[in-house]
Amino acid sequence: MDKQDRIESGGYMFAQPTTFSDAFPTIKELSVKVEVRKGGPMDGAPRVLHFSIQNPPGEYVSCTNSRCTEGGWCIGDVLREMVAKSETSKTTGGICTGRERMNRASFRECLTHFMAEITVSYT
Ligand SMILES: [Zn+2]
């Protein structure tokens, strides 16, 4: 299994494979809407993803750019920061960490932009 497969499977990349509830034991309810804009922040046709405690996100939200390598946005970091600060709602965004393959030898930064509305309640 290569790195991309692990990202696609939605697992949390801690020392041990774990589940969302193991990774975030204090989160009781979760509502996440992520808008993924493949063309950058001004893309008018985002792909909208929804996550909940029954259907939690993985460590990374996958990039929708098929030419992107090892791409995605680390929502795990955002959730860990929210838990650390006991935040209950947050609107935040970021860009893909991947690179887009132009040809065999050259890459450019992937343009995919992620914007998330996150609501959390705690146990
Ligand atoms: Zn990407």
Taking only the tens place, the pLDDT of each residue in 84-99 is: 999 999 999 999 999 9
Quote the mean pLDDT of the chain: 88
73 found inside a domain: yes
Interval between CA 41 and ligand 1 midpoint (Å): 13
Distance CA 47, CA 35 (A): 6
CA 29 to chain centre: 18
21 found inside a domain: no
Interval between CA 49 and ligand 1 midpoint (Å): 16
99 found inside a domain: yes
Tally of domains in the chain: 1
Interval between CA 7 and ligand 1 midpoint (Å): 12
Task: Quote the pLDDT of residue 70.
Answer: 86
Interval between CA 10 and ligand 1 midpoint (Å): 16
